[in-house]
Structure formats: structure tokens, C-alpha cells
Structure 1
Amino acid sequence: MRKVGRSGTAGDVVIASVTVIALCAGVWLLRGAAETHAPPQPSGTRTVAHVGREPAAVSALPPSVPDRIRIPSIRVDAPLMGLRLTRTGSLDVPPAVYKNLAGWYEAGTMPGETGTAIVAGHVDNAEGPAVFYDLGALGRGSTIEVDRRDGSTAVFTVDAVEVYRAKDFPDQKVYGAAPRPELRVITCGGGYSSTTGYQGNVVVFAHLTGSR
């Protein structure tokens, strides 16, 4: 992965040219799984809907570390670890050996705060499907829940699910600052090659619509 940088006010994050390459080796498929077992993909890149047609956003929550992410419609229920930068300046990733583990970029926005929070996880590992294997099957209007250390749960509604080739990854659209609490959930996708692995990334765009 390439370098990650931070700019703007606290909580606003700009991640430059990072397509979560370390999530994308496709080790399980490379070891002989049939192509038909590749993870589901969104049906083309879909534009995020206009705000007026989305479920209403709600006020931002106070800062609190996220501990767990749940996406009921695709049976995700996983702990979250903090992700930092490596010594070379790239975004670290959860250890691939733990298939039901995701991470959030802890130098940026906490899920529920105003701004763009980033969560990433593996699509597979050497043993088979991992935490975000079915992310490409997620539909607009689906719910994402993030349990936070203060005991609250931030509830997000999915606006769109998009897939990008690595060379076309829109850094500003995915990672740029937002005026309301938003969430991006990222894994690998965009087709699979037995020689180079996954060709890009699946990105879920969501915004805060509730809490409890």
C-alpha cells in the first residue's frame, strides 16, 4: 500500500492513493478454490443517492472508540481493532489469520463523529472467506451498527455500494472529509486474477441515521 496522510482539523482524514492492497492477495483462491467461489460483487459502480432521498441524518455523537461492527443482512458480527500507519507510511491491516476481525483507522474519525470514519477488513484468508466476504452483496438501505466504548451503538444506513479497479480508486470520494457522520467499509473485489489476486476494492458508503 502507498502512504497515508492526515490533513485539516482533528478527525478529518485524507488517505492518499490507498486501495487496501494488503487485503487483496486472494490467498484462498490462489490455493485452488474454484473461480465460482469468488466473493459477490456489486452490479457495477453505483452513484450515491441525493441526500433528499436518503433516510434523514442525525446529529453527530461524541467521540468514543468503536469496539464492534455488525451488518445483520450479511451476517457480520466482528470485533474492531485500531489500525495505524506502518513504518513506511502505509495503512496497516488486521492480521489475516483472524478471519472474523476488522479494523478502523484510529488516526481519523471515530464512527459516529462528524467526518468520514474508515473500516477495513479482509475478504478471505488462506482458510476461506473472511469477515467482509459478502460485502459486495450489501444493498442500499441496509443497516450497519457500530458498538462504541461508551456503551452507545451508532447506526448507519447504506447509501451505496461501489466497486473500483485499483488504478481508478477515487481517494477523495472515499476518504475525504464529510460535513456529517459518515462511514466507509472497504474490502477487496473488482474481479480476481490467479496471477495478481483481486483487481480492486468494494466500498460501502453509509451515513449515521440513529443511535441507541
Structure 2
Amino acid sequence: MPSAHRPALSRARLATLTLLTLVSVLTGCSAGPDPTVRVVPSASAPGTPRSGQPAASDAPAAPAEVAVPSVGITSSLMELGLNTDGTVEVPPAEEGMTAGWYTGGAVPGGIGAAVIIGHNDTRFGKAVFHDLKKIKEGADITVTDKKGKALHFTVTATESVAKSAFPTEKVYGPTQERALRLITCDGDFDAQGHPVDNLIVYATAR
């Protein structure tokens, strides 16, 4: 909230910050319990269209497949929405080799941040994004939509962050770029056998 040490916020900025305050992301993949990803948006952020909105005639179709050739990743994409408790759905552990697209964000290739989530490992073993940590800046990520159109994204950065300090605004916040984020787990394990960090890959459309 505004204070003597902080300039007053515009109504639009305050609304965006309120939204992002309600968003937390905790992605864990391990041999233990299924991972949890918490995303609790109250409304869509500017530049980040939500599922169900009318699409423009030139808007990209929903994604069907993601591929990262440089690290040997290819996966079909399931759609991930929100659970009744406000947590985002994740691919079931038994489908750990399949990544998912979060439908509450942008469609890959459209304006805004599109988010694809995949397991690193599950209780069944190595999963789809196990080798994502090997990706390099400048690498190609290809998302093929349901119409068969291939959309190419270039990796601009990667970072490993503590789940307790997940950069929500940076990942899910409004952007006028045609942005893509890939998210999986990373780092050491806690006492329950869950990784304590997230790996985030940032990319933009070519």
C-alpha cells in the first residue's frame, strides 16, 4: 500500500500488484508426492489473455506440442487449468513424460506470457523436463499448435530460484512480448524429498 516511503500507485498498477500478490508458484517434482503449482489469479493481467476469451481471427491456436531439440525434449501438451482450491493443475505423475500448458495465461505465439509446466522427476522416475537444465541461451523452442503451425521461440535467459522467492511478476505479469516460460523443479531436496528450487526458462517469439 502507498506510504510516506513509496509514491502513490496508479489504479491500474495497484490492480496489477494486487493480482500478483495473489499469485504464488510452488513447483516440486520428486520421487515423493505429486508436485504442487499454486497460481491464484483474481483476474487476467493486461497483456495476458485468459482461457475462454473470444479470440481474434489471427490469434494463434491452442498449443499441441513443445520441442527443445538442443536437449532432446519433445512432448505433446495437455491443458492445465485451476483446481477447486486455486492451485493450477499439473500433469499426473503417471504422465510425467507429458508437459502441460497453463490455459490461464497467454496462448503461445500471442501477446503475453505463455507458461508450460513439466516434471523433472516423479515417483515413477525421470520425467519430460529432466534435461531442461542443459538448455542454453539462444536455443530454439518450438511450439506446434493444433492447426499444425510451428511457432519458434528463442531462449533469452534461464534462472534457478528458491520456491519461497519465486519471481511471480516476472513470470506471470503483463508483457507486450510474445513470451514463453518453461517451468520445472530444480535444486536440492528438502526433508520430504521435494526439490527446493524452480528452474525457469524465458523465451520470446522470433
Pair in the same fold by TM > 0.5: yes
Secondary structure of residue in 1 paired with 2:201: strand
Post-superposition Cα deviations, 1:43-75, rounded to whole Å, max 9, x if no partner, equal xxxxxxxxxxxxxxxxxx722100000000111
Contact 2:157 2:201 in 1 (8 A): yes
- Percent identity over the alignment is 35
User: For residue 27 of structure 1, what is the aligned residue in structure 2?
Assistant: 31
TM-score by length of 1: 0.73
TM-score by length of 2: 0.75
- What is the Cα deviation at residue 145 of structure 1? 0.3
Q: Distance in 2 between matches of 1:99 and 1:169?
A: 23
Of the candidates 171, 174, 177, which is equivalent to residue 174 of structure 2? 177
User: For residue 73 of structure 1, what is the aligned residue in structure 2?
Assistant: 70
Please give the root-mean-square deviation of Cα atoms over the aligned residues, in Å: 2.0
Contact 2:60 2:107 in 1 (8 A): yes
Of the candidates 137, 146, 151, which is equivalent to residue 154 of structure 1? 151
1:100 matched to 2:97: yes
Secondary structure of residue in 2 paired with 1:16: coil
Q: Which runs of 5+ in 2 are unaligned?
A: 1-14, 34-57
User: For residue 129 of structure 1, what is the aligned residue in structure 2?
Assistant: 126
Q: Distance in 1 between matches of 2:29 and 2:136?
A: 25
Secondary structure of residue in 2 paired with 1:97: helix
Q: Distance in 2 between matches of 1:108 and 1:174?
A: 10
Report runs of 4+ in structure 1 exceeding 4 Å deviation. Answer: none
Secondary structure of residue in 1 paired with 2:133: helix
User: For residue 47 of structure 2, what is the aligned residue in structure 1?
Assistant: none
Larger Rg, first or second structure (1 or 2) = 2
Post-superposition Cα deviations, 1:7-48, rounded to whole Å, max 9, x if no partner, equal 87xxxx95711122xxx14117x9xxxxxxxxxxxxxxxxxx
1:205 matched to 2:202: yes
- What is the Cα deviation at residue 156 of structure 1? 0.3
Aligned length: 165
1:82 matched to 2:79: yes
Secondary structure of residue in 1 paired with 2:94: coil
User: For residue 135 of structure 2, what is the aligned residue in structure 1?
Assistant: 138
Q: Distance in 2 between matches of 1:135 and 1:25?
A: 13
For CA contacts below 8 A with separation 6 or more, give which structure has more relative contact order: 1
